[in-house]
């Protein structure tokens, strides 16, 4: 059998490596520590860590913590946990803020080189200078031509607290001042001149190079790591490429919305002689892959906060930070996937939601927490029991190219299902039990049956289950009147039992007169079963075998009735009317056969990196199994001592409705 081909050594990824086939591959995963990671980040993590691993290189985890007041300890910890859970170990953990001094020095250096200036224009002024239909051709402001000395002095004044947020910015002197006549091609131009003008034109007409801000003043200036040392903070555009160079990143892989920013990334590195103009030989090389979009998932931090904390109608107002708004005016090319409301941390968002101004309708929480298994944050996917390997496979099966991977939840479910099929043990589990008593067996009747954990994989071993006078079957496997189209148990009919020697037949049943629900069934063991009848699952009553294990089973369905919840009315609370009342169905009296104890002790299932037990205690969700004829399940974090709570990871087939 041949080793499966390494997905990083083919296609687009191989091309990226070949553009810069260095000995020492170094990548980084650079999240902003302002929230929980989501399914999209699983792609970023897999791509960056996987690429480095495949080419014998290293990948750092870099907290891109350049924004004060948006960072909380729990996000740093959770991000790191999720990287490890996915089976990757960062070579180094770095913080952009650790380089604030170095970044500041380089900003001064850039200013000394005449390539940055302090601009005191308002956001509106900056915007109008960028030109366009309303504003005419773009133009530079009076600050553009100030002397290096004045700029240095004013930049230091920014640093020393002379200005409030929005009053001054250090802007990079890129191409805002380049006029069309500077690159208009003339008939008589030589070929090289024409080529050079075309190059300048493409740079000068890229809004990402219209003198974007490098530093801004922040009013709220308490930083998680640097405290109140700084009043000015570097922008993404200034920070990212420089931190890449400090960490000697060879391949800086990011998502396609940063493609228009690539010239700006290179511009700064070239301006500081970190990179050779028009060459990727020296300095880091940025390349862009398509984002992962799973249709029907809510990933916006603010929206998840509304789901977690409840809201008051009209509360979804975008917070505004004047410093950010005035920063660079490049909003039109920044990622606007979820709207700018998504700049808060969950805690801020929850607070804003709680302080909703409207006196209108109060909307209650829809989910319990950020790791509620109905969400698509990585903590939620883990809690639901999705194996990290399935997520990585999902990402790689979709392929890594420049194209955006748009996919649907059922594609993800199918991938998880296939992944679990042969990697987790199988057990019998009854969600909604009805007691069955065999009237033809003595009270102490006992058969011990040896059952494989996976009939196709002897490696997983076998275990013993009891068969006794009293068993439980699932309510859905019984009908109180015979129906020719129903092939399971009904009065006068027989059915087979999985793993049992003989079939059973129903003689009579009992109903609760007030609820009309069937409460128990009398049956005989060992009757003849006509061809075409099913074999159903069951769990026996046998205290000596600790059978059954009682559990609460939680079945998850889509959170919304629509498959496009992002199109709902989030501002006015309209989303609430679309919540699926069946998004969580709880079976509080579920029963699992006694093999569960072995499965629990021998987790993780599957045995994979990232989930190996540390100090004997793995995350409960790595206790996974297939409930025969039911679904895949994992142990929930609410389990405690004797109390067992399990989550449905995914159904056995698409849309079984169970
Ligand atoms: P969000 O706003 O959705 O939380 P982000 O883009 O702000 O995401 P960061 O924490 O800044 O997330 O990003 C860390 C890395 O993850 C970046 O390189 C970013 O491009 C990448 N990333 C974020 N979302 C996705 C996605 N949906 N698919 C692939 N990569 C993603
Ligand atoms: Mg971000
Ligand atoms: Mg974002």
ipTM value of the model?
Answer: 0.96
- The answer to whether domain 427-545 and domain 549-651 are alike in fold is yes
**Distant-in-sequence, close-in-space partners of 227: CB < 8 Å, separation ≥ 6:** none
- Map 395-445 to HEC letters: HHHHCCCCCCEEEEHHHHHHHHHHHHHCCCCEECEECCEEEEEECCCCCCC
- Which ligand has an atom closest to residue 299 CA? 1
Q: Is the pLDDT of residue 319 over 80?
A: no
- For residue 432, count other CB atoms closer than 10 A to its CB: 16
Q: Is the pLDDT of residue 528 over 50?
A: yes
| Residue 610 in contact with ligand 1 by CB distance below 6 A | no
Question: Which atom in ligand 1 lies closest to the alpha carbon of residue 405?
Answer: 28
Higher pLDDT, 228 or 317: 228
| Residue 43 in contact with ligand 1 by CB distance below 6 A | yes
pLDDT for 612 equals: 66
- Which ligand has an atom closest to residue 257 CA? 1
Dist. CA 244–CA 251, nearest whole Å: 9
pLDDT for 343 equals: 45
- Provide the 3-class DSSP secondary structure of residue 55: coil
**Distant-in-sequence, close-in-space partners of 169: CB < 8 Å, separation ≥ 6:** 118, 119, 213, 214, 215, 216, 217, 326, 327, 328
Dist. CA 57–CA 90, nearest whole Å: 11
CATH number attached to the domain at 549-651 = 2.40.240.10
For residue 68, what pLDDT band results from cuts at 50, 70 and 90? confident
Among protein residues, the one with the nearest Cα to ligand 1's atom 7 is 32
Catalytic residue (choose from 159, 218, 291, 384): 291
Q: How close is the Cα of 260 to the center of ligand 2, in Å?
A: 17
Paired residues of 234 in beta bridges: 215
Dist. CA 439–CA 264, nearest whole Å: 81
pLDDT for 347 equals: 55
Does residue 291 have an active-site annotation?
yes
Among protein residues, the one with the nearest Cα to ligand 1's atom 20 is 255
Return the closest-CA partner of residue 82 out of 494, 534, 621. Answer: 621
Q: Is the pLDDT of residue 326 over 70?
A: no
Q: How close is the Cα of 440 to the center of ligand 1, in Å?
A: 64
pLDDT for 351 equals: 53
Dist. CA 32–CA 211, nearest whole Å: 24
pLDDT for 532 equals: 74
Is 306 in contact with 565 (CB distance < 8 Å)? no
Q: How close is the Cα of 466 to the center of ligand 3, in Å?
A: 54
Return the closest-CA partner of residue 307 out of 498, 522, 583, 108. Answer: 583
Average pLDDT (398-406) is 92
| Residue 37 in contact with ligand 1 by CB distance below 6 A | no
**Cα dihedral value 245, 250, 256, 258, nearest 10:** 10
pLDDT (tens digit, 9 = 90+) per residue, 238-258? 999 999 999 999 999 999 999
The total number of residues written for the chain in this structure: 658
| Residue 294 in contact with ligand 1 by CB distance below 6 A | no
Question: Which atom in ligand 1 lies closest to the alpha carbon of residue 255?
Answer: 20
- Which ligand has an atom closest to residue 64 CA? 1
Q: How close is the Cα of 342 to the center of ligand 1, in Å?
A: 12
Return the closest-CA partner of residue 340 out of 313, 320, 315, 366. Answer: 320
Question: Which atom in ligand 1 lies closest to the alpha carbon of residue 33?
Answer: 10
DSSP 250: S
pLDDT for 584 equals: 98
Higher pLDDT, 316 or 41: 41
| Residue 342 in contact with ligand 1 by CB distance below 6 A | yes
Question: Which atom in ligand 1 lies closest to the alpha carbon of residue 44?
Answer: 30
Class of domain 7-99+236-290 as given by CATH = alpha beta
Paired residues of 587 in beta bridges: 553
Tell me the fold of 427-545.
Answer: Ribosomal Protein L25; Chain P (2.40.240)
Among protein residues, the one with the nearest Cα to ligand 1's atom 18 is 254
To the nearest 5 percent, what fractions of the chain are helix, strand and coil? 35, 25, 45
Q: How close is the Cα of 473 to the center of ligand 1, in Å?
A: 46
| Residue 292 in contact with ligand 1 by CB distance below 6 A | yes
Dist. CA 101–CA 127, nearest whole Å: 30
Residue ranges per structural domain of the chain: 7-99+236-290, 100-233, 294-421, 427-545, 549-651
| Residue 299 in contact with ligand 1 by CB distance below 6 A | yes
Q: Is the pLDDT of residue 28 over 60?
A: yes
CATH number attached to the domain at 100-233 = 3.90.800.10
pLDDT (tens digit, 9 = 90+) per residue, 462-472? 999 999 999 99
Mutate which of 31, 34, 36, 342 for ligand 1? The one with the most ligand atoms within 8 Å of its CB, which is 31
Q: Is the pLDDT of residue 273 over 50?
A: yes
CATH number attached to the domain at 294-421 = 1.10.1160.10
| Residue 171 in contact with ligand 1 by CB distance below 6 A | no
Q: How close is the Cα of 563 to the center of ligand 1, in Å?
A: 23
Higher pLDDT, 136 or 147: 147
Is 232 in contact with 216 (CB distance < 8 Å)? yes
Q: What is the residue-wise DSSP string for 472-532?
A: EEEGGGB-SS--TT--SB-BT-EEEETT-SS-EEEEEEEE-TTT--EEEEEEEES----TT
Dist. CA 359–CA 466, nearest whole Å: 60
For residue 530, what pLDDT band results from cuts at 50, 70 and 90? confident
Question: Which atom in ligand 1 lies closest to the alpha carbon of residue 43?
Answer: 29
Q: Is the dihedral of CA 646, 652, 657, 658 positive or negative?
A: negative
Return the closest-CA partner of residue 587 out of 472, 453, 491. Answer: 472
Does residue 301 have an active-site annotation?
yes
Among protein residues, the one with the nearest Cα to ligand 1's atom 10 is 31
Question: Which atom in ligand 1 lies closest to the alpha carbon of residue 30?
Answer: 14
Q: How close is the Cα of 346 to the center of ligand 1, in Å?
A: 16
pLDDT (tens digit, 9 = 90+) per residue, 355-395? 544 456 789 999 999 999 999 999 999 999 999 999 999 99
Q: How close is the Cα of 550 to the center of ligand 2, in Å?
A: 44
pLDDT (tens digit, 9 = 90+) per residue, 177-204? 999 999 999 999 999 999 999 999 999 9
Is 435 in contact with 470 (CB distance < 8 Å)? yes
pLDDT (tens digit, 9 = 90+) per residue, 451-494? 999 999 999 999 999 999 999 999 999 999 878 888 899 998 99
Mutate which of 27, 44, 72 for ligand 1? The one with the most ligand atoms within 8 Å of its CB, which is 44
**Cα dihedral value 203, 205, 206, 208, nearest 10:** 100
Dist. CA 388–CA 612, nearest whole Å: 12
Measure Cα distances from 71 to 40, 67, 338, 595 in Å. 20, 8, 20, 44
Q: Is the pLDDT of residue 124 over 70?
A: yes
Q: Where are the beta strands (DSSP E) in 72-115?
A: 93-95
Least confident of 119-133, 415-429, 535-549, 603-617: 603-617
Catalytic residue (choose from 53, 301, 374, 384): 301
pLDDT for 327 equals: 41
Q: How close is the Cα of 49 to the center of ligand 2, in Å?
A: 19
């Amino acid at each position: 059998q041949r080793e499966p081909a390494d997905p990083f050594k083919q296609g687009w990824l191989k091309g990226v490596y070949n553009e810069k086939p260095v000995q020492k591959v170094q990548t980084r995963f650079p999240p902003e520590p302002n929230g929980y990671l989501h399914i999209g980040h699983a792609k970023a993590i897999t791509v960056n860590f996987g690429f480095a691993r495949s080419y014998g290189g290293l990948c750092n985890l870099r907290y891109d913590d350049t924004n004060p007041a948006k960072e909380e300890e729990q996000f740093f910890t959770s991000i790191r946990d999720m990287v490890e859970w996915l089976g990757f170990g960062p070579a180094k953990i770095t913080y952009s803020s650790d380089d604030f001094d170095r970044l500041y020095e380089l900003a001064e250096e850039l200013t000394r080189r005449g390539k940055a200036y302090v601009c005191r224009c308002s956001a509106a002024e900056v915007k109008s200078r960028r030109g366009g239909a309303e504003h005419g051709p773009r133009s530079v402001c009076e600050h553009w031509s100030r002397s290096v000395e004045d700029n240095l002095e004013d930049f230091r004044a920014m640093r020393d607290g002379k200005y409030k947020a929005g009053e001054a910015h250090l802007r990079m002197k890129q191409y805002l001042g380049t006029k069309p006549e500077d690159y208009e091609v003339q008939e008589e131009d030589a070929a090289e001149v024409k080529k050079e003008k075309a190059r300048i034109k493409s740079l000068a007409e890229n809004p990402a190079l219209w003198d974007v801000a490098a530093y801004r003043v922040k009013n709220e200036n308490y930083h998680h790591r640097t405290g109140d040392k700084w009043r000015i903070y570097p922008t993404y555009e200034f920070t990212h490429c420089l931190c890449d160079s400090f960490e000697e990143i060879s391949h800086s892989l990011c998502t396609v919305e940063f493609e228009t920013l690539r010239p700006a990334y290179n511009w700064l590195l070239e301006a500081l002689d970190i990179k050779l103009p028009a060459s990727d030989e020296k300095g880091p090389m940025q390349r862009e892959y398509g984002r992962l979009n799973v249709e029907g998932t809510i990933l916006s931090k603010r929206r998840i906060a509304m789901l977690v904390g409840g809201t008051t109608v009209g509360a979804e107002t975008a917070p505004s930070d004047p410093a950010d708004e005035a920063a660079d005016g490049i909003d039109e090319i920044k990622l606007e996937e979820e709207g700018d409301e998504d700049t808060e941390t969950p805690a801020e968002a929850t607070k804003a939601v709680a302080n909703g101004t409207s006196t209108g309708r109060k909307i209650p929480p829809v989910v319990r927490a950020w790791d509620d298994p109905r969400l698509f944050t990585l903590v939620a996917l883990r809690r639901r029991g999705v194996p990290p390997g399935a997520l990585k496979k999902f990402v790689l099966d979709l392929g890594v190219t420049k194209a955006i991977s748009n996919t649907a939840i059922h594609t993800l479910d199918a991938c998880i299902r296939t992944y679990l099929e042969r990697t987790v043990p199988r057990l019998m589990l009854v969600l909604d039990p009805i007691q069955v008593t065999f009237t033809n067996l003595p009270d102490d009747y006992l058969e011990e049956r040896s059952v494989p954990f996976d009939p196709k994989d002897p490696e997983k071993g076998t275990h013993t289950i009891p068969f006794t006078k009293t068993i439980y079957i699932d309510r859905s496997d019984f009908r109180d009147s015979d129906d020719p189209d129903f092939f399971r148990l009904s009065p006068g009919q027989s059915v087979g039992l999985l793993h049992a020697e003989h079939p059973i037949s129903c003689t009579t049943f009992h109903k609760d007169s007030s609820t009309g629900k069937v409460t128990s069934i009398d049956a005989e063991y060992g009757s003849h079963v006509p061809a075409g009848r099913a074999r159903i699952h069951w769990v026996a009553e046998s205290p000596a075998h600790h059978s059954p294990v009682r559990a609460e089973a939680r079945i998850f369905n889509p959170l919304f009735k629509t498959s496009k919840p992002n199109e709902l009315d989030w501002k006015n609370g309209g989303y609430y009317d679309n919540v699926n009342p069946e998004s969580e169905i709880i079976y509080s009296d579920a029963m699992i056969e006694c093999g569960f104890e072995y499965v629990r002790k021998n987790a993780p299932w599957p045995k994979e990196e990232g989930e190996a037990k540390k100090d004997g205690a793995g995350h409960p969700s790595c206790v996974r199994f297939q409930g025969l004829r039911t679904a895949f399940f994992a142990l929930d974090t609410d389990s405690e001592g004797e109390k067992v709570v399990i989550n449905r990871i995914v159904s056995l087939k698409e849309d079984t409705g169970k």
